[in-house]
């Protein structure tokens, strides 16, 4: 049976309240000899205070709730790891909820974070959040997305500007008919990447009609299926273009992994027959064959900025709705081989 505070008090010859003062550093002072007896009793009995109960009394649990899409996507797996590491540096633990982009379920996660007295919340699955503040509205939160439906703090990659640069890189290789593999339309960040593909194509006077876009799940299977659709005879025979795309902009790395697999199965040579550039910059992208050219999100900068912002709000004891901080960060294009370049570098 666990040792109780009363047993410690009996061993030390003091009241349970005095034991509490020693453990919690107050609120009343304890004389040095009395403190020494209590500490000796704690050590002799092996007493371990109930940290959670103490946290509830203090109003702090030193825990941050994190709502994130499935870590089966390597980008979100890396994001979760970086968030956990950064929180640990500040003395916080992470409690993670896996979003299925279902607003009702995600609201339950947020309510659970609030019920369990989380000190704050980081949301990386903003596409499914309700349009009004619910669930964790009573605790500070930071959103890792550029389309927050709520007035809140947000740190994110500038999806539109970075995707423009990725498509521009393909155009710089001389490609005119550039297809786009997109995430489901409900994903706001993905929509910005598709819009950037279209805007960059239009700026150059190049095709950008819907027939060059294939929507798919953000998964390897989704990417492979979308690639087969874009390269199918029916797809381009009935479009405005008499030839297949010679290049593809892919919304996520995980879809691009499926694209490369499908190209191998179809006998499509990358980059000779089809150039590929994607978005996310995951660690796994370094090990594809050929190596993937991808727009790397500034993951560590996003997380360190978001955690700092959140802890400042926690220190203020409230999430100031009048203070809305939105910060867009610039990524960098990691040059591999799938675009037609020969060596892996970065454009800074």
User: What CATH number does the domain containing 36 carry?
Assistant: 1.10.260.40
Cβ-contact 259, 223 below 8 angstroms: yes
pLDDT tens figures, 190-224: 899 999 999 999 999 999 998 899 999 999 999 99
| Same-domain pairing of 338 and 274 | yes
| Same-domain pairing of 208 and 337 | yes
Question: Which residues pair with residue 157 across a beta bridge?
Answer: 329
Residue 57 covered by a domain: no
Residue that is written with structure tokens 């297949």 in the block: 244
Residues 320, 327: Cα–Cα separation, whole Å:
16
Residues 202, 207: Cα–Cα separation, whole Å:
7
Cβ-contact 60, 24 below 8 angstroms: no
Residue 54 covered by a domain: no
| Same-domain pairing of 201 and 342 | yes
Three-state SS across 63-129? EEEEEEECCCCHHHHHHHHHHHHHHHHCCCEEEEEEECCCHHHHHHHHHHHHHCCCCEEEECCHHHC
The residue among 299, 347, 311 whose CA lies nearest residue 157 is: 299
| Same-domain pairing of 74 and 107 | yes
- Mean pLDDT confidence for 238-243: 60
Number of domains in the chain: 3
| Same-domain pairing of 123 and 151 | yes
Residue 118 covered by a domain: yes
| Same-domain pairing of 341 and 244 | yes
Residues 83, 75: Cα–Cα separation, whole Å:
12
What is the pLDDT confidence band of residue 319, given thresholds at 50, 70 and 90?
very low
Residue 180 covered by a domain: yes
Residues 143, 310: Cα–Cα separation, whole Å:
10
- Mean pLDDT confidence for 229-245: 69
| Domain of residue 154, residue span | 63-158+299-331
pLDDT for the residue 131: 44
Torsion sign (Cα): 272, 274, 275, 276: negative
pLDDT tens figures, 34-85: 889 988 988 888 887 665 555 555 556 789 999 988 878 899 999 999 999 9
CA distances from 220 to 99, 251, 252, 256, 295 (A): 19, 12, 10, 7, 18
Both tokens assigned to 165: 């640069």
| Same-domain pairing of 67 and 211 | no
SS3 216: coil
Residue 150 covered by a domain: yes
Residue 55 covered by a domain: no
- For residue 110, pLDDT over 50 is answered with yes
Residues 151, 32: Cα–Cα separation, whole Å:
51
pLDDT, the chain, mean: 85
CA 186 to chain centroid, in Å, comes to 17
Residues 154, 328: Cα–Cα separation, whole Å:
8
| Same-domain pairing of 30 and 148 | no
What is the pLDDT confidence band of residue 272, given thresholds at 50, 70 and 90?
very high
User: What CATH number does the domain containing 132 carry?
Assistant: 3.40.50.2300
Both tokens assigned to 86: 């950064």
Residue 231 covered by a domain: yes
| Same-domain pairing of 203 and 271 | yes
Helices (H), 183-267: 188-203, 220-231, 233-237, 253-266
Write the DSSP symbol of residue 288: S
Cβ-contact 262, 234 below 8 angstroms: no
| Same-domain pairing of 71 and 137 | yes
| Same-domain pairing of 187 and 222 | yes
Backbone torsions φ then ψ of 25, nearest 5 degrees = 70, 30
Q: How many helices (H) and strands (E) does the chain have?
A: 12, 13
Residue 56 covered by a domain: no
| Same-domain pairing of 341 and 216 | yes
Residue that is written with structure tokens 């805007």 in the block: 199
What is the pLDDT confidence band of residue 265, given thresholds at 50, 70 and 90?
very high
Question: Which residues pair with residue 263 across a beta bridge?
Answer: none
Torsion sign (Cα): 29, 34, 36, 42: negative
Residues 248, 266: Cα–Cα separation, whole Å:
15
Cβ-contact 309, 209 below 8 angstroms: no
The residue among 159, 240, 229 whose CA lies nearest residue 200 is: 159
């Amino acid at each position: 049976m666990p040792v109780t505070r009363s047993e410690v008090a009996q061993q030390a010859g003091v009241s349970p309240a005095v034991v509490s003062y020693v453990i919690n550093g107050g609120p009343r002072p304890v004389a040095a000899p009395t403190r020494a007896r209590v500490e000796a009793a704690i050590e002799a009995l092996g007493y371990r205070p109930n940290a959670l109960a103490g946290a509830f009394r203090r109003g702090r649990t030193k825990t941050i709730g994190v709502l994130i899409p499935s870590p089966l996507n390597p980008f979100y797996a890396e994001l979760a790891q970086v968030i956990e590491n950064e929180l640990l540096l500040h003395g916080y633990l992470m409690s993670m909820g896996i979003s299925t982009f279902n607003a009702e379920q995600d609201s339950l996660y947020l309510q659970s974070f609030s019920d369990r007295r989380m000190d704050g919340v980081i949301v990386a699955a903003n596409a499914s959040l309700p349009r009004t503040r619910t669930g964790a509205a009573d605790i500070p939160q930071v959103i890792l997305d550029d389309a927050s439906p709520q007035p809140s703090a947000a740190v994110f990659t500038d999806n539109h500007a970075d995707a423009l640069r990725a498509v521009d890189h393909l155009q710089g290789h001389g490609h005119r008919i550039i297809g786009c593999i997109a995430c489901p339309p409900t994903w706001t960040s993905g929509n910005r990447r598709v819009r950037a593909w279209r805007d960059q194509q239009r700026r150059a006077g190049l095709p950008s009609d819907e027939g060059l876009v294939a929507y798919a799940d953000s998964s390897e299977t989704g990417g492979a299926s979308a690639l087969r659709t874009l390269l199918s005879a029916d797809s381009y025979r009935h479009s405005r273009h008499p030839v297949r795309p010679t290049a593809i902009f892919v919304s996520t790395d995980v879809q691009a992994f499926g694209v490369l697999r499908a190209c191998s199965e179809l006998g499509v040579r990358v980059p000779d027959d089809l150039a590929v550039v994607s978005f996310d910059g995951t660690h796994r992208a370094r090990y594809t064959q050929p190596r993937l050219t991808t727009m790397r999100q500034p993951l560590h900068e996003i997380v360190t900025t978001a955690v700092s912002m959140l802890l400042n709000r926690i220190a203020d004891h409230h999430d100031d709705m009048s203070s809305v901080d939105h910060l867009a960060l610039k990524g960098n294009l990691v040059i591999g081989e799938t675009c037609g370049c020969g060596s892996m570098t970065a454009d800074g």
